[in-house]
Structure 1
């Protein structure tokens, strides 16, 4: 049976393969684009609300959220005396930095045109706003989780992060800024990036807990300890103290 890290790595394969499939279809103008275009026509309805939701994925909003949470997590880790308190925050910011390094070349390579709701242009695949929102809000939640005391607070943080990403995704499609497949592809890409970040944070957490576990164990040696328990016996004479040999009495 594969170990937990192995299962986690294997769990990254489905989104990676789906991302590769969608990218291939977009680059080759494959048949998957026809239902994507029909779905877009059914969903597009530009309004102010959808535009505001889409703006939540902009760098002006999402990036400061991650920076603030990363700074808070680093401060808490340093105050707690963690040896590598800077690793989680730095890793989260590094994953966010990977987003434009991956998305921008893909936009240039695929050269996908936008929906009829936007001015004629290309470079809409994958969705940069979706990727920014998913990594920024998702990484912020992962970095913040170890410092939340209750399970309900942790679940609320994860749910809020997911709702923000879904809101941005819906706003982008509803406003007509992106095709649905642009958004789905960014989900898949960010699932891989956030999964890798989670694996790193889990490794750091286990490394922190290992010395504490070792310090809490009692020192064990090879020599057996002498037993201090009193063994009972059924012989009543065994409980009386030894008074030496009885002196024989003279017989008359």
Structure 2
């Protein structure tokens, strides 16, 4: 529902865009570009997907093939959902008003599904909260880097996180169903 609301606001230039633009203007370049670019890079496919792949391999070796498959499917669905939304909304970027395709943020979606998906896969084997905390921190760092650098509006990032919620809920459910009881 949140994704539908944010998408509608972008499509009709609704009232949420004004505070979104004000917040973006206040935050862009508040941190040096060298820092925000590195944070943004955490959402690159080359950085995030190998983390998920290693966690999926580990879970599959431990017998949770269902969880590993669900995580891989969730990652495959990210571009299947993000790319059509980018084309449909054609939202310009904060620093590039002549360009289009910024809504929702693909980097944020990639980071969320890869890092949080990996944490969900590892959680049954660690029995500690740190995988989810680390994954959430990496996802938040990516999102903040994208906003602070001016590569995405805050609403773009929020929409991506909302888009990933059902995907990650599916991964979590599959992980729970696929974990073998201890021998």
Q: TM-score range by the shorter chain?
A: over 0.9
Asked if structure 1 preserves the Cα contact closer than 8 Å seen for 2:123 and 2:129, the reply is no
Tell whether 2:162 aligns with 1:194.
Answer: no
Q: Say which of 44, 68, 82 aligns to 2:28.
A: 44
Asked if structure 1 preserves the Cα contact closer than 8 Å seen for 2:66 and 2:174, the reply is no
Asked if structure 1 preserves the Cα contact closer than 8 Å seen for 2:70 and 2:170, the reply is no
Structure 1 CA distance for aligned equivalents of residues 106 and 174 of structure 2: 24
Shift of 1:69: 1.2
Q: What is the RMSD of the two structures over their aligned residues, measured on CA atoms?
A: 1.6
- Which residue of 1 is the match for residue 136 of structure 2? 162
Structure 1 CA distance for aligned equivalents of residues 144 and 163 of structure 2: 18
- Which residue of 2 is the match for residue 136 of structure 1? 114
Tell whether 2:153 aligns with 1:175.
Answer: no
Structure 2 CA distance for aligned equivalents of residues 192 and 185 of structure 1: 12
- Which residue of 2 is the match for residue 60 of structure 1? 46
Shift of 1:196: 1.9
Q: Say which of 16, 20, 26 aligns to 1:32.
A: 16
Q: Which runs of 5+ in 1 are unaligned?
A: 1-16, 78-84, 213-252
Normalization by structure 1: what TM-score? 0.69
- Which residue of 2 is the match for residue 75 of structure 1? 61
Shift of 1:195: 1.1
- Which residue of 2 is the match for residue 101 of structure 1? 80
Q: Kindly indicate whether structure 1 or structure 2 has the higher relative contact order, using CA contacts under 8 Å at least 6 residues apart.
A: 2
Tell whether 2:82 aligns with 1:121.
Answer: no
- Which residue of 2 is the match for residue 245 of structure 1? none
2:101 is paired with a residue of what secondary structure? Answer: coil
Q: Map Cα deviations across residues 91-147 of structure 1 (whole Å, 9 max, x no partner).
A: 1111100000000000000010111x2473001000000000000001100111111
Q: Map Cα deviations across residues 155-176 of structure 1 (whole Å, 9 max, x no partner).
A: 1111000000000000000000
Asked if structure 1 preserves the Cα contact closer than 8 Å seen for 2:109 and 2:164, the reply is yes
- Which residue of 1 is the match for residue 69 of structure 2? 90
Corresponding residue pairs, total: 181
**Higher Rg of the two aligned structures:** 1
